Amino acid sequence: MKNDFSGLKAVYVNCTLKKSPAKSHTRDLMNVSIKIMESEGVIVETIRLADFDVPVGVQPDMTTEGEAGDDWPKLYEKIITADILIIGTPIWLGERSSIASKLIERLYAMSGYQNDKGQYVYYGKVGGCIITGNEDGVKHCAMGILYALQHLGYSIPPQADAGWIGAVGPGPSYGDTQWKEEKIDPPVGYNSNFTNRNTTFMTYNLLHLAKILKDNGGYPSYGNSRTAWDDGTTWNFENPEYR
């Protein structure tokens, strides 16, 4: 039975270190997932974070901390209106990129906001990640990214990560069609059954969980509402009624 995912919206944030229009190998792999989403009628938006003025920091708008400009508030509006967030990052020294870390810090800056149920603002939204590189680290990077997302309130479905790594050391990256004097066809990684399968499974797992949550209005607020905790209408250690 085919599911209808057409009411969903997904945002992909590419955390390459390179500004547009430079080629991004991470974006090449993200495109595999994006095409699946689009084929299912999902509204997709992509953001290359390096193209924007996003200072480091953990405040919602860093101009209040002395920065001359901050594009984060307008980018946050795109992210918070989406049902699904996918973070894409290259691997550097076995870790996610510095841009990816900055993204997570800025997401964290908004995590105290609440939805209309009084829950933290990312409740009911789904997260995943896509990782590329020429060294080990896909699972390590995914571990940190997915932990951070769930801590902020995102829901993580089974197998919510996908990635590709080439041979250790210098060499072609995902999507390259030439290395030194050698032409490569098909592009590097495109025929990797393992990567294609994991990227497909990740994409559909994100879609399934996002649809379940959206169809059910997110999570029930019973027992997890910050508003109810603060006003004493839910179980609270500080409320004498529950001691």
Q: Which residues pair with 178 in a beta bridge?
A: 183
pLDDT of residue 172: 87
The pLDDT tens digits of the residues spanning 211-222 come to 999 999 999 999
Query: What are the respective helix, strand and coil percentages of the chain, to the nearest 5?
Result: 35, 20, 45
pLDDT at residue 2 above 80?
A: no
**pLDDT, position 159:** 96
Average pLDDT over all residues of the chain: 94
- List the one residue out of 169, 191, 171 whose CA is nearest residue 179: 171
Range of the domain at 166: 9-242
- C-alpha to C-alpha distance for 2 and 8, rounded to whole angstroms: 15
CATH number of the domain at 183, please: 3.40.50.360
What's residue 136's pLDDT? 82
Report the phi/psi class of residue 47: left, alpha or beta, with left for phi > 0 and alpha for psi in -120 to 50.
beta
Instruction: Give the tens place of pLDDT for each residue, 22-66.
Output: 999 999 999 999 999 999 999 999 999 999 999 999 999 999 999
Residue 241 pLDDT > 70: no
For range 91-117, the mean pLDDT: 96
| Cβ-proximal residues to 218 (8 Å cutoff; 6+ apart), any chain | 115, 117, 119, 123, 124
Cβ–Cβ under 8 Å, residues 160 and 132: no
The whole-number pLDDT of residue 167 equals 82
Query: Could you tell me the two tokens for 74?
Result: 């307008």
DSSP annotation of 56 reads S
Number of domains in the chain: 1
**Does the structure show a pLDDT above 60 at 243?**
no
- 37, part of any domain: yes
Q: What is the mean pLDDT of residues 134-160?
A: 95
Answer with the residue of higher pLDDT: 150 or 238.
Answer: 150
Q: Cis omega (within 30 of 0) on the bond before 172?
A: no
In a domain, 29, yes or no: yes
Residue 70 inside a domain? The answer is yes
Task: Give residue 97's Cα distance to chain centre.
Answer: 13
The pLDDT value given to residue 168: 80
Flag whether pLDDT at 238 surpasses 90.
Answer: no
**Residue 223 predicted with pLDDT over 70:** yes
Within a domain: 30: yes
Residue 64 lies in a domain: yes
1 lies in some domain: no
In a domain, 2, yes or no: no
Nearest alpha-carbon partner for 24 in 140, 176, 144: 176
pLDDT-derived band at 240 (thresholds 50, 70, 90) equals low
Residue 4 lies in a domain: no
| pLDDT surpasses 90 at 182 | no
Residue 72: its H or E element: helix 72-80
- Taking residue 139's Cβ as centre, other Cβ atoms within 10 Å add up to 10
